[in-house]
Structure 1
Amino acid sequence: MTRPAAQPHWLVDWDNVGLLTPWRELGSVLLRHVANENSVRQIVDAYRSTGGAARIDGPESFATGLTIALNFLHGQANSAMNEELDDAHRRFAAAQVPPLLESIPQPALP
C-alpha cells in the first residue's frame, strides 16, 4: 500500500501561533469542555498521566481560551454580516454564531 504524497501545510491564522505557557494551554482546552465535568476530569487525568504539571489556579487560567473564543465569535459575526463576502461564506459564518454564543460560559449570579 502506498501512502499519498504529503500535502503542504499553510498557516492561515496567526492569532494563536506558537506555544502558550502550560497553564494557559490547559485552561484553553478545559474551557471547551467546562460544561461537562466528566470530560474535564478525563482530560486532566490524561494530562497528568503523561506528565503534565500545569495547574488551574483560578479564573485567570481560562482567560486565553475565552479570548480565543471571543475573537473567533467576533470574526464569524463580522463575516456573517459582510455583504461583500460570497453567500456560502456568510451562511457558514452565520451558522457558527449561535453555537459559539451558547458555548461561552456564563458567570454564576448570586
Structure 2
Amino acid sequence: MTSTDTSGDLARMLAFPERGPDEIFVQRVNRTIDIEIADRLAKQARREAIIVELLAAGALLVAARQLIANGTDVANLVLPLVSELGALTILAATLFLLVALVSEEGIERTR
C-alpha cells in the first residue's frame, strides 16, 4: 500500500454519502421560515395596535380637557340638539351611518 492509496481510502471513508434531496427536511425548514415570518408580522401588528390605542387615549384626554375648560359653552350648544326634533335627527343620522358602514363592509367581503 502506498500513501496515495491510504489518502484516497481515507477520502472515500470521510466523503458524504450519495443520496437524493431530503424533501421532508426542506419542508420542515420552509415551515419554520413561514412560522417566523408570521410571528414577526403578528408582533408588528400588535405594536401598531398599541400605538393606535395610545394615540386614541391621548385624543380622548385632550377632548376631555377641552370639555372641562369649556363645559358651559358646550352645554349651551348641545342642549338644543337633545330636544325633541334634534334628538330624532341625531338618531336618524346615527342609524344612517351605521347602515352605510355595514353595507360597505358587505361590499368589501365580496371583493
Structure 1 or 2, whichever has the larger Rg, is 2
Q: When the two structures are superposed, what TM-score results if normalisation uses the length of structure 1?
A: 0.27
- Name the structure where helix makes up a greater proportion of residues: 2
Question: TM-score, normalization: structure 2?
Answer: 0.27
- Indicate the structure whose relative CO is greater, using CA pairs within 8 Å and at least 6 residues apart: 1
